[in-house]
Chains A and B, each alone.
Chain A
Amino acid sequence: MAKPNMNPKKTPMPEQEPLVRNRNFEEVTLGYTDEMALEEAQRCLQCKHKPCVSGCPVNVRIPEFIQKIIEGDIEQAYHIITGTNSLPAVCGRVCPQESQCEAKCVRGIKNEPVGIGRLERYVADWYMKNKEREPVKTEPNGHKVAVVGAGPAGLTCAGDLNALGYSVTVFEALHTAGGVLMYGIPQFRLPKEIVEKEINVLKANGVEIQTDMVIGKVLSVDELFEMGYEAIFIGSGAGLPSFMNIPGEGLVGVFSANEFLTRINLMKAYKEGYDTPIIRPKSVAVCGGGNVAMDAARSAKRLGAEQVYIVYRRAEEQMPARLEEIHHAKEEEVILQLLTNPVAIHGNENGRVTDIECVKMELGEPDASGRQRPVEVKDSNFKIPVDCVVMAIGNSPNPLLTKSTEGLETNRHGCLVVNEETLETTREGVFAGGDAVTGAATVILAMGEGKKAAKSIDEYIKVKK
């Protein structure tokens, strides 16, 4: 093996200039060139014990695909990745690698870890640009499985079962498959054309996707069994938005992040020629400190807002958003209004938002989870003038399906209760995974659960017959 590249830092990835990109919806990061990818691939030490692989929820064979990049065989690198990951162009972009594969990278102990996500993205993009992916047809085994929800969990489960010979139908409530990849994560982080291409690969392989089908309303779980599906996977996500229950949330200009982002991403309200409207705010407060809050704030900038505030009740180090997202948001002149908690929203006589009233917070004693609990500073009320407020304080699972299905137990957060080993719910033959079980988490964790459920469903049906 050639000597590895011992540069302590990751090969930088080119990106759009911050004050240019915060006025357009084009992708922020531009991806590696062939030369950059080769340079970064050579930073991998090809460890024998491969700690990075164990950090990946779907166990992509990381050193193997990186070795293929070094050998110049990108096509083979792609096949190695897709052996365990059905949406590589997506994962390379949106996975929190710093807490997964890259967190385990040996190079990361002293210096920056290998840019595994960037390399995965490079390989997937190269393949999409240069190759037609041949459909992989498997011999049908004569068994039918239904998947509820076409988000990352459902699509992964469907892809894996299809590869095993099952005839799989995915039922999706919205008019487009992809779940949060289509309606939640913005174009500038994850171009929708890429998601569509990855989904088309699954379709070409034989996965059937029926959109406009709200399971729980148009068909029940029992009816799916009657239609001959032998097992059902529920990957319906956590799409029910939380509000803060403070005065003024009914004013015009207050949105859940889900509504704000759905109008922009799924309905393309920002684009000329599309019918769905969106307000073009001048000054926006986004409440929350997670990735969704960052997405909403950065989208608001791109709609033309001059001041965009992230209003978060704890300190910056405690924000749950990815470091990279916070960094990008700051570069784009999003203002972090930290240790600040909203208490009311005020409006004018037309019912339109005029300002958000907040109190200052300070960090007190650590709570049960070890995080310092924010405590209100007395008489510290102040107002931020805004004409739009976006609530990004979290989502829980939508009760539509569980309300209409007998025997599906949920916990007090509305999450489906499953056997942790098999992901089987409290109803025989019904499995569940992703945010519907864990509450709002990450794309790759949902995919990992989709994989695990596919394995369990295969075993369940084999034993049954």
Chain B
Amino acid sequence: MFTVLEKRRLNDSMTLMVVDAPFIAKKAQAGQFIILRVNEFGERIPLTIADYDREKGTITIIFQKVGKTTLLLDQLEEGEKILDFIGPLGTASHLEGYHKAAVIGGGAGCAIAYPQAKALHEMGAKVDMIAGFRNQDIVILEEEMRAASENLFVMTDDGSNGNKGFVTDALKKQIEAGVNYDLVIAIGPLPMMRAVCELTRPYAIKTIISMNPIMIDGTGMCGGCRVTVGGETKFACVDGPDFDGHLVDFDEAILRTRTYREDEGEATREYNCRLMEGAKNG
């Protein structure tokens, strides 16, 4: 059992939790993730390690409420416990040796992109951070991202912060202005990561993406998370989640994430109904 030490709602859909997990905190590195199970009927879901504190023995996770399990997790209060919390899993990001990097986060992906920007920044690389959100109201981690980068460009789909456009618009502008990136990291929804890869491909800028396929065990025993990279089958939970974005088969990955869409919709609807009933009854 793993205690929630701190809980903060970052906006309407995103929550940050600091969890007591000393063994994991001792080993965690940027780019790795944990698998958790909320209760005994629960499913196992992967979440990226957004931060860790080796001294305090804590792991920070940031999650978006997108379905039953994340809604359930969001109900836990400080002092309450998560049944299973397993990690650190996956291969740590290789961030050494870069000089000028663009780190791009899309929505909830910013929570995963931020520790990468921070790690690069601490290794002495110059970092431009590009963060994309639907609108100004859901911008998260703005202060933290600013502290980890030379330039921070926050883009909104609707222009509600004065910067209308997609993350690719900002990246394109920088590249065309002559900024010489030797690394681009893109983390967010698959179509957004694909768009970034298509943009950087002609410039041959090394582009790392963080895959987010369906996972069960997260230790390489089932292959549920397999992705095709450069024509080879890779397991994202052990070989990744970071991959060379120019080699990833995005079409396949996008179709595979839709495997259980109907079941997921039903589970979430049922859960919400029960919540509403609960609210009515007491």
Contact = CB atoms under 8 A, between A and B. Distances in A.
Interface in A233-268: 239-241, 243, 245, 249-253, 255-256, 258-259, 262-263, 267
Interface size class of B (residues with CB under 8 A): 35 or more
Contacts of A218: 23-24, 27, 87-88
B217 A262 contact: yes
B21 to A, nearest CB: 9
A343 interface: no
B233 A249 contact: yes
Contact of A275 (B42, B85, B238, B255): B42
Contacts of B24: 218
Interface string B260-271: 100110010000
A279 B217 CA distance: 18
A175 B224 contact: no
B56 to A, nearest CB: 17
Interface in B203-253: 216-217, 219-224, 226-228, 233, 238, 249, 251-252
A252 B89 contact: no
A267 B221 contact: no
A170 B264 CA distance: 35
A283 to B, nearest CB: 17
A267 B233 contact: no
A184 to B, nearest CB: 10
Contacts of A263: 216
Contacts of A174: 217, 219
A277 B256 CA distance: 14
A253 B23 CA distance: 36
Interface in A336-394: 350-351
Contacts of A399: 220
A211 interface: yes
A351 B223 contact: no
Contacts of A259: 216, 222-224
B192 to A, nearest CB: 20
Nearest to A276: B43
A214 B223 contact: no
Given A217-B89, A275-B68, A351-B256, A258 B223 contact: yes
A323 to B, nearest CB: 28
B224 A239 contact: no
A263 B221 CA distance: 12
A399 B251 CA distance: 29
A218 B85 CA distance: 12
A417 B228 CA distance: 31
B35 to A, nearest CB: 9
A240 B221 CA distance: 5
A421 to B, nearest CB: 30
B86 A239 contact: no
Nearest to B23: A218
Interface size class of A (residues with CB under 8 A): 35 or more
Contacts of A213: 23, 86
A275 B27 contact: no
B233 A243 contact: yes
Nearest to A349: B255
A277 B219 contact: no
Nearest to A352: B255
Given A275-B267, A351-B256, A214 B220 contact: no
Contacts of A240: 220-221
Contacts of A175: 37, 44, 83-84, 86
Contacts of B116: none
B168 interface: no
Given A175-B84, A217-B87, A277-B263, A258 B221 contact: yes
A250 B217 contact: no
Contact of B221 (A241, A251, A277): A241
B264 A277 contact: yes
> Which of B37, B69, B251, B264 has the most C-beta atoms of chain A within 10 angstroms of its own C-beta?
B37
Interface string A169-196: 0000111000000000000000000000
A195 B217 CA distance: 20
B249 A250 contact: yes
A183 to B, nearest CB: 8
Contacts of B219: 173-174, 214, 217, 239, 398, 400
A250 B256 contact: yes
A273 interface: yes
Contact of A262 (B42, B84, B221): B221
A212 B85 contact: yes
Contacts of B217: 173-174, 262
Interface of B: 23-24, 27, 37, 41-44, 68-69, 83-89, 216-217, 219-224, 226-228, 233, 238, 249, 251-252, 255-256, 258-260, 263-264, 267
27 contacts: A173-B86, A173-B217, A175-B83, A175-B84, A175-B86, A211-B84, A212-B84, A239-B219, A239-B220, A240-B220, A241-B221, A250-B227, A250-B228, A250-B233, A252-B255, A252-B256, A256-B222, A256-B224, A258-B221, A258-B222, A275-B42, A275-B69, A276-B216, A277-B263, A279-B259, A399-B220, A400-B220
What are the nearest 9 A-B pairs in CB distance?
A: A351-B255, A259-B222, A277-B263, A239-B221, A275-B43, A276-B43, A175-B84, A277-B260, A258-B222
